A and B are shown apart, each in its own frame.
Chain A
């Protein structure tokens, strides 16, 4: 698993990459009450807003970590946005994307580096 400075995690799954936010980020956000997911088939470019998370406190944007296409979204979050708090790195995933070039993933942090980052 790789981590961005925006507190997203990226997990390769076959030729796809699963994206969510870290437990640390979920805790900072507070109780998540709404997640707006992109439409399947959307082409995204790195750093473009793709997901809106609303917690009891505020709205936050999640950026696309890489260039690619959204091929699957976690529909369970529509009914149960609290999954982001309960299981941030598992059942709380946001979307799966197909990327043409996975190489930029190597620039992201590994777990040790991320833990140091959030210190």
Chain B
């Protein structure tokens, strides 16, 4: 086994009593006080997450427009039309239209700032270098940590450190002085709550984390609650709820593909797999990602096979994320089913320990988003 990597906050995690587990090559805290308590605290007040394992990348050329135009060759998003100081959710696609990773990208004036998943970062960086260099410089930012401060109290906590944070709207980005550190801040996250993601120089990350944790409303949160929060928010986890065999439309991510890149748009297509992606948007997918509520109390987790009937028949799909939703107060799951079974309130069956148990198809999210638009 190779040695696990450590984020700049590793020592602080140990000091705070974090239970450490290997995750995408990093030694990361899965929990501190307990997943249930951490989850609820984030929904009610604010939680601090270490997401430094994610990949931070800067793309630069003579102008934002030059970078954005080139980046549009890799993603089906409107990058050129993204205003300065704004961020968008994006997807890398392959030649078949499958999703290679999901990401956040921001127009930071003279450059594009990209955050990709930890598990995919090497491949993403290699792909960007191959496609964009030498015209565009691709720089992997290894000397900064990434923190997420999430929850309804996040705004007051961060605005107390720098009032400018309170002025930001959902998906705004800005460079802010926080606790003496020059931070790249976005008002976003992946919990369904209002909050911020904060890129901070590695050597100032622990001090900033301590300053945030000093606030009574802030508690450290591990990967366990991060997963249950994003599941309740109906957000996809790459490699689970979508992968290279999943097209954006079936994953319910058409909203992320702006009109400019769709059929009839001013820059229609022009990204890998455009034909397949646009065709599926036009003709509709055969299967869809849906929310699922097990009718009993037993959680149904990733990999559970789904059936149309309580007995017999072939599997019609499977659960891609599932567990207990602390805010919902019961089990929740997401998975893929054929479109004719994708309507809300349809009953499907999951096979759990040899028994078929009913689940009801529900609209996502399970817990309404609390963003400050």
Question: Which chain A residues border B34 with CB–CB below 8 Å?
Answer: 30-31
| Bound Cα distance from A31 to B298, whole angstroms | 14
Q: Say yes or no for B323: interface residue by CB 8 A criterion.
A: yes
User: Is the beta-carbon distance between B326 and A34 smaller than 8 angstroms?
Assistant: no
Q: Say yes or no for A66: interface residue by CB 8 A criterion.
A: no
Q: Say yes or no for A59: interface residue by CB 8 A criterion.
A: yes
Within A28-65, which residues are at the interface with B (CB < 8 Å)? 30-31, 33-34, 36, 52, 54, 56-59
Partner of A36, one of B30, B224, B298: B298
Q: Say yes or no for B36: interface residue by CB 8 A criterion.
A: yes
* Contact A30:B298 (CB < 8 A) given known A54-B324, A56-B36, A56-B326: no
Question: Which chain B residues border A31 with CB–CB below 8 Å?
Answer: 34-36, 324
Interface size grouping (class) on chain B:
10 to 19
Q: Say yes or no for A115: interface residue by CB 8 A criterion.
A: no
A1-40 to B contact mask, C-beta < 8 Å, 1/0: 0000000000000000000000000000011011010000
Chain A interface residue count, CB cutoff 8 Å, equals 13
User: Is the beta-carbon distance between A56 and B228 smaller than 8 angstroms?
Assistant: yes
* Contact A52:B353 (CB < 8 A) given known A30-B224, A31-B36, A57-B224: yes
| Bound Cα distance from A113 to B228, whole angstroms | 37
Tell me the smallest distance from the CB of A107 to a CB of chain B, in Å: 29
User: Is the beta-carbon distance between A30 and B31 smaller than 8 angstroms?
Assistant: yes
Question: Which chain B residues border A33 with CB–CB below 8 Å?
Answer: 297, 299, 324, 331
| Bound Cα distance from A31 to B35, whole angstroms | 7
Counting chain A CB atoms within 10 Å of each CB, the highest count among B297, B301, B353 belongs to: B297
User: Is the beta-carbon distance between A34 and B224 smaller than 8 angstroms?
Assistant: no
Q: Say yes or no for A74: interface residue by CB 8 A criterion.
A: no
* Contact A34:B324 (CB < 8 A) given known A52-B353, A56-B224, A78-B297: yes
| Bound Cα distance from A59 to B303, whole angstroms | 13
* Contact A56:B301 (CB < 8 A) given known A30-B31, A30-B34: no
User: Is the beta-carbon distance between A30 and B324 smaller than 8 angstroms?
Assistant: no
| Bound Cα distance from A30 to B299, whole angstroms | 15
Residue on B nearest A79 in the bound complex, by CB: B297
Within B23-72, which residues are at the interface with A (CB < 8 Å)? 30-31, 34-36
* Contact A54:B298 (CB < 8 A) given known A30-B224, A34-B324: yes
Counting chain B CB atoms within 10 Å of each CB, the highest count among A56, A58, A59 belongs to: A56
| Bound Cα distance from A104 to B86, whole angstroms | 68
Within A55-107, which residues are at the interface with B (CB < 8 Å)? 56-59, 78, 81
Partner of A30, one of B35, B297, B353: B35
Question: Which chain B residues border A30 with CB–CB below 8 Å?
Answer: 31, 34-36, 224
| Bound Cα distance from A14 to B228, whole angstroms | 43
Question: Which chain A residues border B35 with CB–CB below 8 Å?
Answer: 30-31, 56-57
With contacts A30-B34, A31-B34, A59-B301 known, what are 13 further pairs, Cβ within 8 A?
Answer: A30-B31, A30-B35, A30-B36, A34-B297, A34-B298, A34-B324, A36-B353, A52-B298, A54-B324, A56-B323, A56-B326, A57-B35, A78-B297
Using CB atoms and an 8 Å cutoff, list the residues of chain A in contact with chain B: 30-31, 33-34, 36, 52, 54, 56-59, 78, 81
Can you give 24 contacting A-B residue pairs, CB < 8 Å?
A: A30-B31, A31-B34, A31-B36, A31-B324, A33-B297, A33-B299, A33-B324, A33-B331, A34-B297, A34-B298, A34-B324, A36-B298, A36-B353, A52-B353, A54-B298, A54-B299, A54-B324, A56-B35, A56-B224, A56-B228, A56-B323, A57-B30, A59-B299, A59-B301
4 nearest A-B pairs in the assembled complex, by CB-CB distance: A31-B36, A33-B324, A56-B35, A34-B297
